[in-house]
Amino acid sequence: MRRLLIILAGVVVLLVALVFLLPVFIPADKLEAQVEAKASAALGREVTIDGAPKISILPTKLTVRGLTVANAEGFSAPYLVKVDEARIGVKLFPLFSSRVEITQFDLDSPDVNLQSDAAGNANWMLGSGESAPAEESDGSGLNDVQLGTININNGRIAYDGGTGETYQAENADIQITMESLDEPLSIDGTMDVQGEASSVKAIFTTPRQFTDQGEATLDLDMKLGPNTVDTRLNLSDTLAFNGDLDVDVPALRALMQLVGASIDTDNGFEKLRLKGPVQGTSEKVLFGTGTELTFDDIKGTGSVSIDLAGERPAVTGELTVGTLDLTPYLPAEPEGMKDAKEGGAFPEWSTEPMDFSALTAIDAQLSFIADQIILPSVQVDNSQLRVKLQNGNLLANIDQMVLYGGTGTGTMTANFAATRPSLGAKFNLTDVNVGTLAKELLAVSRLNATGGVNIDVKTQGRSQAEWVNNLSGTLTTDLADGQIQGFNLGKVARSAMQAYTSLRDGGLNAATLTSTFANIGSTARGPAEETDFSDLLVDVGIANGIVTSKTLRLVGPYFEVAGDAVINLPAQSVEMRLTPTVSAVDGEALRALPVPIQISGSFNSPKVGVDAAPLIKGVASGQVKQLLNKGGIGVGEDETVEDALRNKGREELGRLLGGKKETVEDGDTVDEATGEDADPDAAAEDTEAEADEKSAKDELIEQGLNSLFGNKKKTN
């Protein structure tokens, strides 16, 4: 037994000695050539090392310095990988035959340059370079590659996609495993990409299948900061793929900056998620029916195609969404409009340039079915919308929409890429709450009514103020059962009619009529006052921001109002002249008020009053007529006082000049000088002479009248 133990102890000592003596018997110079040849064959790249490797037995490995893996032909980087020191795991016993069989690479602080080109070629594809001529191939295909495990510790990885942009990954700790070309290639690691903590897990099945048949499967789980990609794709060597994809990018803008893409807008493009069936190429991706989409606050399902081949990304698709919030991509509501909607003062038109850059960043052709569409000033429900956006030119067809209790259709056209962006809009709305619409769209809160609205307008400019100044088109409304807040036209009309009646009947002095009407206007204005109406019909034309009425008619209880109006949108002022007809509460027939009601002033401080001048003039004229009639000077129904006086003066002057014969009822004539009947024959003989004298007499009469009344043109 003791002898056996001594023998065993001797064997152990011999083995230990052998382990430490093995490096002495292994020819290092041959190993250098073997390492370079085997590594070159394994990677399909020329691999070189500086000097003979250092051999370690426990564990069995070679340590080399100055390891460089050459780049593939056609790529600009000086190398694929460069490592100051690398440890290469090898099998032990082949070393005694000067053969190296690699089981593992450990690369400390490697410098890796990854490159690809527009054709899809990449410098990391195995077998793309020329292998070292250590072993001859039989020409039957790619020799087997046995990488074992490659460990990258604290590495730096740079990527250049041929666009001129280079992306960096620092602090890379990655493990790459491939036992052979017929086994899956797996990648598992962490790194900081452009400063963002990231990770990647991928299984590529299998390299042999991809190189021989042009097909493979990729399972990928990748994180880049807060953004994630989870996918299983079927790949082909034509750069096509299909499968299922789940992309979650909660920091879209940061990711786009990370990869060098730019969006020339500060609004929107904050987050993106796509989950569903996918197919495509390196330039175009199609998400099939049933794809779940989240873009900023827009969520929906449908199909979406993204084409990256053009100057701008092009998006096409059909989507059903809940809320389509477009406010981030359109100019913000001008400052002060929100306060105006809540009852504050109407703000001045903004001169700040409007930002439409988000609508020039992409091209799109999309169809939406939306539960709700939110614009900066308008909210639309249950809509069907078709949008085409090409190089900043917009065509939007709204085939169906529900808004503010009514329905409608419409079309919008725009050129957002122009130096002076333009917009055109045509809308046909039915049974809408126009009060709410006017409040949200124009910050006008005085109207409350329901009815139809037809709009056809266009404009252009760089700011809201320029859009208002250049506005043109038409607008018609037919509203029912509403109110106009802030003043009471019915009260003004009834009070004015009462004042007129009192003045006409002598109960009111004409001298105090102006102040009476001023008081009427004051009492009819105020927050609690309103004009109730059963029908409001408006038809206006718009040119250079000036709104001019073609038809303006308002029907209320016990009164009707017709008239005309001019609304100066750039100046934010209004001028209306309304002629009311009024009836008493007890059902008295409508009577026209012979004076107009005037509404004038700014949007913030409109004034309501009655123009008393025509009424005072009319009443005064009536009183003068009564006096003249009593004095024997008759004034006809439609005759002015001046005309009556002229006619009477002409008659009296004719008498003074004499010679004129008057016709009596029986047809005889009377001589004005004697008062006796004139001889008819003699009268006939005198006709020619009288005609000669007439012009001279008339001239004398006119001269006399002009000296009394002034040389004025006769009026009817």
Are 559 and 489 in contact by the 8 Å Cβ rule? The answer is yes
Are 149 and 174 in contact by the 8 Å Cβ rule? The answer is no
Predicted pLDDT of residue 507? 61
- Cα 93–96–99 angle (5° rounding)? 85
Q: Which residue has the tokens 């059903």?
A: 320
**CA distance linking residue 610 with residue 293, whole number of Å:** 61
DSSP per-residue codes, 19-63 = HHHHHHHS-HHHHHHHHHHHHHHHHTS-EE-SSPPEEETTTTEEE
Tokens of 42: 């394994």
The closest alpha carbon to 187, from 205, 174, 171, 172, belongs to: 174
Mean pLDDT of 135-159: 69
AA identity, residue 524: A
Phi-psi group of 343: left, alpha or beta (phi > 0 → left; psi -120 to 50 → alpha; rest → beta): left
- In the predicted structure, residue 135 carries a pLDDT above the cut 80: no
Tell me the backbone φ, ψ of residue 101, rounded to 5 degrees.
-115, 110
Predicted pLDDT of residue 640? 59
Paired strand residues for 548: 541, 566
- In the predicted structure, residue 576 carries a pLDDT above the cut 50: yes
Predicted pLDDT of residue 495? 73
Tokens of 194: 């452009």
Residue 650 host element (H or E)? helix 641-657
How far is residue 659 CA from its own chain's centroid?
A: 88
Tell me the backbone φ, ψ of residue 692, rounded to 5 degrees.
-70, -35
Q: How far is CA 166 from CA 107, 116, 158, 169, 486, in A?
A: 23, 11, 7, 10, 65
- Lowest mean per-residue pLDDT among 81-85, 154-158, 277-281, 527-531: 527-531
AA identity, residue 501: T
The closest alpha carbon to 450, from 489, 488, 407, belongs to: 407
AA identity, residue 560: E
- In the predicted structure, residue 221 carries a pLDDT above the cut 70: yes
Predicted pLDDT of residue 639? 59
- In the predicted structure, residue 168 carries a pLDDT above the cut 70: yes
The closest alpha carbon to 250, from 272, 268, 223, belongs to: 272
pLDDT digits (tens, 9 = 90+) for 589-634: 556 656 677 888 998 888 877 666 666 566 555 555 554 455 555 5
Residue 628 host element (H or E)? helix 613-630
Q: Residue 2 — very low, low, confident or very high, per pLDDT cuts 50/70/90?
A: very low
Q: How many CA atoms lie within 13 A of 53 on its CB side?
A: 30
**CA distance linking residue 489 with residue 578, whole number of Å:** 10
Tokens of 577: 């002249």
pLDDT digits (tens, 9 = 90+) for 421-464: 999 999 999 999 887 887 776 666 678 889 999 999 999 999 99
Q: Name the residue with higher pLDDT: 465 or 67.
A: 465
Tokens of 360: 């020039």
- In the predicted structure, residue 525 carries a pLDDT above the cut 60: yes
Predicted pLDDT of residue 37? 83
AA identity, residue 498: Q
- Lowest mean per-residue pLDDT among 356-360, 380-384, 622-626: 622-626
DSSP summary character for residue 494: H
Q: Name the residue with higher pLDDT: 189 or 614.
A: 189
- In the predicted structure, residue 635 carries a pLDDT above the cut 80: no
What is the number of other CB atoms lying within 10 angstroms of the CB of residue 524? 24
- In the predicted structure, residue 209 carries a pLDDT above the cut 80: yes
Q: Name the residue with higher pLDDT: 131 or 415.
A: 415
Q: Name the residue with higher pLDDT: 498 or 16.
A: 498
How far is residue 672 CA from its own chain's centroid?
A: 90
AA identity, residue 704: G
Mean residue pLDDT of the chain comes to 76
- In the predicted structure, residue 137 carries a pLDDT above the cut 50: no
Determine if the peptide bond prior to 59 is cis (ω within 30°): yes
Residue 521 host element (H or E)? helix 513-523
Q: How far is CA 212 from CA 130, 137, 207, 280, in A?
A: 18, 16, 9, 22
**CA distance linking residue 632 with residue 524, whole number of Å:** 45
C-beta pairs of 226-230 under 8 Å, 24+ apart in sequence: 226/250, 226/251, 227/251, 227/252, 227/255
Q: Can you point out the beta strands (E) in 662-701?
A: 662-663, 669-670
Predicted pLDDT of residue 165? 74
**CA distance linking residue 672 with residue 660, whole number of Å:** 6
Paired strand residues for 108: 153
Tokens of 713: 């043109």
3-state helix, strand, coil split of the chain in percent (to 5) is: 25, 45, 30
Q: How far is CA 122 from CA 7, 118, 161, 419, 509, in A?
A: 60, 10, 9, 43, 101
Are 478 and 499 in contact by the 8 Å Cβ rule? The answer is no
Classified as helix, coil or strand, 128 is: coil
Tell me the backbone φ, ψ of residue 396, rounded to 5 degrees.
-120, 125
Q: Residue 506 — very low, low, confident or very high, per pLDDT cuts 50/70/90?
A: low
Predicted pLDDT of residue 692? 54
CB burial of residue 681 (10 Å; 0-12, 13-18, 19+): exposed
Predicted pLDDT of residue 402? 92
Mean pLDDT of 376-395: 89
pLDDT digits (tens, 9 = 90+) for 257-314: 666 666 666 777 888 898 999 999 878 899 999 999 998 889 999 999 989 888 888 9
The closest alpha carbon to 87, from 104, 99, 110, belongs to: 104
Are 89 and 64 in contact by the 8 Å Cβ rule? The answer is no
